Chain A
Amino acid sequence: MKAVKSQLSLDPVTLEIVWGRLQAVIDEAEVTLMRTAFSPIIREAFDFGVVLLDSQGGSVSQSQRSMPSFVGTLPRTMQAALERFPASTWQPGDVLGTNDPWLGTGHLPDMTMVRPVFRSGRIVAYVGCIGHWADIGGAIWSADSRELFEEGLRIPLSKIRNRGKVNDDLLSIVLANVRLPEQVRGDIYAQLATLDVGAQRLTDLLDEMSLDDPASIFNEIETRSESAMRAAIREVPNGTYRHEMELDGVDGPLVLRAAVTIEDESIVVDWTGSSPQTQWAINDSFNHAYAMTVYPIKCALLPDVPNNQGSYRPITMVAPEGTIINCRFPAAVASRQIIGHSISATVFGALAQILPDRVLADSGSPCPRFVISGMFPDGRKWGSSFLLSGGMGAKNNRDGLSAAPWPSNAGTTSAEIVESTTELLFRRRALVPNSGGDGTYRGGLGVATDIELRSKKSAVLSMMTDRVTHPPLGRHGGHPAAPNILTRSGGGSVPPKGRTELQPGEVLSMRTPGGGGFGPPEARDPEQRRRDIEFGYVTAE
């Protein structure tokens, strides 16, 4: 029988081929972003996300370098956008965007943009792209703002492009409110180009397939991933597993409290009992918290299967409003990664009770961030954002990676490039000996960074970090890692969450925390101990 069908029959060969093509569509869009973006945070640190979405806003495929947080928030932003702007109101050439923390990624510097893909007058898919802009106005990126309005310009869901025409009024408002208008303008156009490349490649693919509506393919892809996730959850014993993590906080320790309930084929993560939201800019919002909750579950249960909406369907999150996990507008949120990254580690703590072989000890996260901002003698502003890594926690069968981000996946920026565009000088970038927690398997080492201000004027340092008094913990008898250590050559302290002035010639030193150890240290292979000493990862007494 060779009847012509209106849709594909999705045998294991056709689906494999089409899935590969959809992955290529979104990876090509990513290449466009990396090559055209202006913000170093996007192109050097990979702080972006590119996702293909179905007509309901569910994710279908994500680009290779996308951040774990963004692949989780983008579908939620898309779905919120569809509630306010139903599909019938969109026109070809439209692009909608927002940086609203509660609709988007949890803080203002990240701009989420989405555009529809039309076929025969109907929307069959969306392409979404998030980029961390070089600046969003307001205070510089910091942890000590007290309410959202200090943190920069908030753009509600708006048409960035209307039927192919860029919204110049909005653009001029944005550019009038940021410190680096040239870079931000470049990033806006880079994101638009990214969306257009993704949409064009998808259209080419559908043309080749002579397919009007890819819904059945998208559905099959999401359903297969969902079934795989449900099957993986079924393997885990039912029950409620609790874990608590304590952070330094600002005015006193903060607690993240997770109750992970596994019931047959679904998981509920309940954050009830976590600390109330704070007056500092470290509060997380639901979208970002959700992304950071599902990411570690995916790592532990199903690392090999492509991630998409199907992976999320079996997982729900409960978080009372007004907590650090789900703060209320207009709470300050600029450094929400401090809570967000800790969310992932807390989920691992709960899963460790039933899946000890599938999780890590605590990593040197929340991944430290800081910004230094100054002025050249001719009055031009310079600034640089630093996205640092600690060591990764050890696993049941291996040492943790040193100098590795987790759960973030930010890359580091070349010292030579930073020095070429600022008045900063790197005096050191090296591994920190003894920073990994001891254990049968040792935690990864943190990174030492010494930066000198070579300027005749002072510069502003905005530090966004934690783990100064609460080091990353080991698991199953493994020891804790070294904490975060912050010092300055001029004497005095460096506030872990706050802004301070660096004086001309002063050197800022940071030792990021290592990862916790796994298993009792007595069981460590003596050969590995000998090698640790030989390599200077551990120094002899």
Chain B
Amino acid sequence: MGARDLSRAVGIDVGGTFTDFVAIDDGVVTVFKHLTTPADPSLGVLDGIVRFAHREKIPFPDIVRIIHGTTLVANSLIERRGARTALITTVGFRDVLEIGREARYDLYDLELERPEPLIPRPLRFEIGERVLADGTELEPLDEAEAVRLSRRLRELGVESVAVCLLHAYANPAHERRLGEIVAAEAPGIDITLSSDIAPEWREYERTSTAAANAFVRPLARKYLAHLEQGFRDLGAPDRLYVMMSQGGVTSARQAAEFAIQLVESGPAGGVSAAGFFGRRLGLHNLISFDMGGTTAKVSLIESGVPLQVPELEVARVARFKRGSGLPLKLPTIEMIEIGTGGGSIGHKGALGLLKVGPISAGADPGPACYGRGTAATVTDADLHLGYLNPDYFLGGSMELDAENAERALAQLGDEVGMSAEQCARGMFDIVNRQMALAMRTHVVERGHDPRRFTLVAFGGAGPVHAYEVARHLGIKRLICPPAAGVASALGFLVSPFSVDLAWTHLGRLGRVDWAPVVARLAEMEARAREMLKKGGADVSSADIEKRVDMRYVGQGYEVPVPLTQAELGPGIEAELRSSFNRLYRERFGTSLETAGVECVHWRLTARVESKQVSVTFPTSARGGALKSQRRTYFPELDDYVDCAVFDRYQLVADNDVKGPALIEERESTIVVGPSAVWRVDDLGNVLVSFAESHKPTPDNGNSRRGGRRT
């Protein structure tokens, strides 16, 4: 390939074990994996990209864009390894981080632990000042105290400070002035203002967001600067971009300001990739299904756009318990995380039932079939039932110990009164149905029918379990895209540049004061364009989307309503009311036509779509992909059959083939059951289609499990 091509881009995703590299060169995708260097992940990134570029003969100056996703921010919060961070609050509120919402996340556990505040009490300070809910100043900022406080921060060796003053979303003047004073008196201390990062009400959640950003930013800034320097040394300066949790890309410099937005960057890339593969097939309603070693992640893509939520919770003490983590007011691609991964352990629950997860065997000791552990995991069940090839795990680089898996399953069976075989089938069924349930709940809550969606499966275990999950939901189509093991890194390359801004400002329909709203939205648009520009996007083609979160007066939960009108003002209020009533009815089945309606949060998204519209995967396939046959269990037959095994890398685009089939690739195996047909398209996807008459399976597991005893 010559230097003529200007569309060379590299996506890099740092995972726990491997750092994944994906390059797109003139639309052609190449992939590389390199060991992660946990102590300093930038070493692995820089070393890896040198080897990758060398292998692909890509001159560094020809790379136009390097888009990075990292777990650095998430890990920093989980491990509480971040900057020495202080907090400044309105007088009387230094404990807001520690008091939180007070309620316990488990009703019966007398030993429950709360998340340790990111900023310890000795580093939480108060300042005299007061702003009222409508933004008016009640008491001025105590500037003399601000000066003293700044010096104190310096003496204490503080590296980063979060500022969160009451009602700063309504009037940020005090926060800004305080920020200026700290910057002047204690230069070098990193400053995060809550009114910049999350100008929305609820002081606990806003403080938590500002604190998290302050805590991770110095680390992220240093890391990104180090990478930037490394790429510059290699001859590729100013090309580093970063994936954000909300599904968009921005420049590394911009990302360093709002480092907390990187918290879910890797998983967000996976969802972007799912959307991309769906779009290329003309499919816009998708369920992205990423099943890895410890968890499965599910996201919805509606009309081509991954669904966002305005807040998320991270670094939970109890991973799957809502309320046990740190809340962040941050637009994010909504991800439902379920404790069902390949490493999830089967065990006997307190009531004698077979349970799977959420505890995982991790990579060490790993599933029993890895040879070291003794706990039966989902991967052991998958191996036992014939889905996995013990001689071609990770492309044959690791041999699986089927006997050890069987021993572990038999031992679990003894505990719950079942055979090893029944345990394997039971575990397979339980995790599939749990994942199907999470998807169903998620889709139905939005008033949709899961049968209208297409499942896109990736991650090491996704393609193994996707067929059954789809069958349980009555989903008719399943896509297993190529390069499933590097979906996140690929997703980075096809994600848009985007910026999300929000502002809390109450206005009851009938008496909305539109002048400040119009002014603020214009300001937000200008700021978003500026951020996009700094982020490296061509803003001339930016799409601007405005919405307002609305509710009935008195409620606490809002429904987003698009603001599509050219002119905002009293003239659109009737239309807003009817749109809101309609959306509310769609979601909750009823509306309260006579109740008062109010606008709460005003939101703006600016987006520049990725130009990457087509990619192809190089193939050396010559056909003749049929490798062998294997005895494989299929729940819908309640029996084992001889199942054809294919080599994915030798598949060529062809007509439908009737299932069952096992299609092996290096990092996963696609399982196709007997009720579906499959084919490979010319883009390299494996497409699985169920017969049209296909209905959701009854959740009565009995008729399938009753017969066979081993």
Q: How far is the CA of A466 from the CA of B113 in the complex (A)?
A: 27
- Chain B residues with Cβ below 8 Å from A201 are 444
**Residue in A28, A68, A358 whose CB lies within 8 Å of B441:** A28
Contact A298 B110 (CB under 8 A): no
Is there a chain A Cβ closer than 8 Å to B540's Cβ? no
Contact A427 B92 (CB under 8 A): yes
Q: How far is the CA of A339 from the CA of B400 in the complex (A)?
A: 61
- Chain B residues with Cβ below 8 Å from A36 are 555, 557, 588
**Residue in B101, B202, B445 whose CB lies within 8 Å of A416:** B202
- Chain B residues with Cβ below 8 Å from A44 are 556
Contact A13 B426 (CB under 8 A): yes
Is there a chain A Cβ closer than 8 Å to B121's Cβ? yes
Q: How far is the CA of A205 from the CA of B700 in the complex (A)?
A: 10
Q: How far is the CA of A306 from the CA of B175 in the complex (A)?
A: 47
Is there a chain A Cβ closer than 8 Å to B401's Cβ? no
Q: Closest residue of chain A to B206, judged by CB?
A: A416
Is there a chain B Cβ closer than 8 Å to A17's Cβ? yes
Q: Restricting to B407-460, which residues have a CB under 8 Å from any CB of A?
A: 416-418, 422, 425-426, 429-430, 433-434, 437, 441, 444-445
- Chain A residues with Cβ below 8 Å from B257 are none
- Chain B residues with Cβ below 8 Å from A224 are 351-353
- Chain B residues with Cβ below 8 Å from A537 are 121
Q: How far is the CA of A434 from the CA of B537 in the complex (A)?
A: 55
Is there a chain B Cβ closer than 8 Å to A263's Cβ? no
**Residue in A24, A32, A211 whose CB lies within 8 Å of B700:** A211
- Chain B residues with Cβ below 8 Å from A406 are 104
Report if A9-B706 is in contact (Cβ < 8 Å); known contacts: A414-B204, A417-B202: yes
Mark contacts of A426-439 with chain B using CB atoms, 8 A cut-off: 1 yes-contact digit, 0 otherwise: 11111100000000
Is there a chain B Cβ closer than 8 Å to A360's Cβ? yes
Mark contacts of A39-73 with chain B using CB atoms, 8 A cut-off: 1 yes-contact digit, 0 otherwise: 11001101000000000000000001110100000
Contact A420 B353 (CB under 8 A): no
Q: How far is the CB of A432 from chain B (nearest CB, A)?
A: 10
Report if A303-B554 is in contact (Cβ < 8 Å); known contacts: A16-B354, A416-B203, A431-B95: no
Q: Closest residue of chain B to A42, judged by CB?
A: B556
Is there a chain B Cβ closer than 8 Å to A37's Cβ? yes
Stretch at the interface among B213-221, B563-571, B590-598, B662-670: B590-598
Contact B707 A1 (CB under 8 A): yes
Report if A411-B101 is in contact (Cβ < 8 Å); known contacts: A303-B109, A426-B92: yes
Q: How far is the CB of A234 from chain B (nearest CB, A)?
A: 15
Report if A410-B110 is in contact (Cβ < 8 Å); known contacts: A20-B437, A44-B556, A196-B589: no
- Chain A residues with Cβ below 8 Å from B101 are 411-412
Q: How far is the CB of A350 from chain B (nearest CB, A)?
A: 16
Contact A13 B429 (CB under 8 A): yes
Contact A186 B92 (CB under 8 A): no
Is there a chain B Cβ closer than 8 Å to A8's Cβ? yes
Chain B: number of interface residues, binned into ranges: 35 or more
Contact B102 A404 (CB under 8 A): yes
Mark contacts of B81-124 with chain A using CB atoms, 8 A cut-off: 1 yes-contact digit, 0 otherwise: 00000000001111110111111101111111010000011100
Q: Restricting to B313-330, which residues have a CB under 8 Å from any CB of A?
A: 322
Which secondary structure dominates where chain A touches chain B?
A: mixed
- Chain A residues with Cβ below 8 Å from B103 are 46, 65, 405, 409-412
Stretch at the interface among A143-151, A394-402, A475-483: A394-402
Contact A183 B102 (CB under 8 A): no
- Chain B residues with Cβ below 8 Å from A12 are 352-354, 416-418, 426
- Chain B residues with Cβ below 8 Å from A39 are 554
Q: Restricting to A438-496, which residues have a CB under 8 Å from any CB of B?
A: 447, 450
- Chain A residues with Cβ below 8 Å from B702 are 5, 8-9, 11, 14
Contact B111 A398 (CB under 8 A): yes
Q: How far is the CB of A231 from chain B (nearest CB, A)?
A: 10
**Residue in B202, B204, B422, B556 whose CB lies within 8 Å of A40:** B556
Mark contacts of A266-309 with chain B using CB atoms, 8 A cut-off: 1 yes-contact digit, 0 otherwise: 00000000000000000000000000000000111011111100
Q: How far is the CA of A536 from the CA of B94 in the complex (A)?
A: 12
Contact A415 B351 (CB under 8 A): no
Q: How far is the CA of A428 from the CA of B56 in the complex (A)?
A: 62
Which secondary structure dominates where chain B touches chain A?
A: loop
Is there a chain B Cβ closer than 8 Å to A419's Cβ? yes
- Chain A residues with Cβ below 8 Å from B107 are 66, 68, 307, 409
- Chain B residues with Cβ below 8 Å from A192 are 590
Q: How far is the CB of B297 from chain A (nearest CB, A)?
A: 18
Q: How far is the CB of B698 from chain A (nearest CB, A)?
A: 5
Contact A186 B121 (CB under 8 A): no
Q: How far is the CA of A463 from the CA of B422 in the complex (A)?
A: 60
- Chain A residues with Cβ below 8 Å from B595 are 182, 185-186
Q: How far is the CA of A6 from the CA of B100 in the complex (A)?
A: 50
Report if A34-B133 is in contact (Cβ < 8 Å); known contacts: A14-B705, A403-B102: no
Report if A185-B700 is in contact (Cβ < 8 Å); known contacts: A305-B351, A429-B92: no
Is there a chain B Cβ closer than 8 Å to A170's Cβ? no
Is there a chain A Cβ closer than 8 Å to B703's Cβ? yes
- Of the candidates B107, B109, B114, B696, the one having the most CB atoms from chain A within 10 angstroms of its own CB is B107
Contact A13 B555 (CB under 8 A): no
**Residue in B554, B590, B696 whose CB lies within 8 Å of A38:** B554
Q: How far is the CA of A20 from the CA of B91 in the complex (A)?
A: 46
Q: Closest residue of chain A to B555, judged by CB?
A: A38
Q: Closest residue of chain B to A534, judged by CB?
A: B122
Is there a chain A Cβ closer than 8 Å to B349's Cβ? yes
Contact A15 B353 (CB under 8 A): yes
- Chain A residues with Cβ below 8 Å from B95 are 403, 429-431
Q: How far is the CB of B369 from chain A (nearest CB, A)?
A: 21
Is there a chain A Cβ closer than 8 Å to B550's Cβ? no
Q: How far is the CB of B448 from chain A (nearest CB, A)?
A: 14
- Chain A residues with Cβ below 8 Å from B120 are 535
Q: How far is the CB of B548 from chain A (nearest CB, A)?
A: 17
Contact B445 A28 (CB under 8 A): yes
Is there a chain B Cβ closer than 8 Å to A193's Cβ? yes
**Residue in A193, A303, A360 whose CB lies within 8 Å of B590:** A193
- Chain B residues with Cβ below 8 Å from A15 are 353
- Of the candidates B592, B700, B705, the one having the most CB atoms from chain A within 10 angstroms of its own CB is B700
Contact A404 B104 (CB under 8 A): yes
- Chain A residues with Cβ below 8 Å from B705 are 11, 13-14
Q: How far is the CB of B635 from chain A (nearest CB, A)?
A: 11
Mark contacts of A304-347 with chain B using CB atoms, 8 A cut-off: 1 yes-contact digit, 0 otherwise: 11110000000000000000000000000000000000000000
Q: Closest residue of chain B to A536, judged by CB?
A: B121
Is there a chain A Cβ closer than 8 Å to B253's Cβ? no
- Chain B residues with Cβ below 8 Å from A210 are 698, 700
Report if A360-B99 is in contact (Cβ < 8 Å); known contacts: A12-B354, A36-B555, A208-B699: no
Contact B354 A24 (CB under 8 A): no
Is there a chain A Cβ closer than 8 Å to B648's Cβ? no
Q: How far is the CA of A515 from the CA of B441 in the complex (A)?
A: 40
Q: How far is the CB of B593 from chain A (nearest CB, A)?
A: 11
Is there a chain A Cβ closer than 8 Å to B553's Cβ? yes
Is there a chain B Cβ closer than 8 Å to A87's Cβ? no
Q: How far is the CA of A24 from the CA of B444 in the complex (A)?
A: 12
Contact A429 B96 (CB under 8 A): yes
Contact A182 B699 (CB under 8 A): no
**Residue in A18, A134, A307 whose CB lies within 8 Å of B699:** A18
> Could you name 15 residue pairs across A and B whose Cβ atoms are closer than 8 Å?
A4-B703, A8-B702, A11-B418, A12-B417, A17-B430, A182-B596, A186-B555, A359-B110, A360-B110, A395-B110, A412-B99, A412-B103, A419-B133, A429-B99, A534-B122
Q: Using a CB–CB distance below 8 Å, which chain B residues touch chain A?
A: 91-96, 98-104, 106-112, 114, 120-122, 130, 132-133, 138, 166-167, 201-204, 322, 349-355, 416-418, 422, 425-426, 429-430, 433-434, 437, 441, 444-445, 506, 552-557, 588-590, 592, 595-596, 696-703, 705-707
- Knowing that A12-B426, A193-B590, A537-B121 are A-B contacts, what are 4 other residue pairs whose CB atoms are under 8 Å apart, sorted by A's residue number? A13-B425, A15-B353, A182-B595, A302-B350
Closest 8 CB pairs of A and B: A428-B92, A13-B426, A411-B103, A303-B108, A38-B554, A35-B557, A43-B556, A420-B133
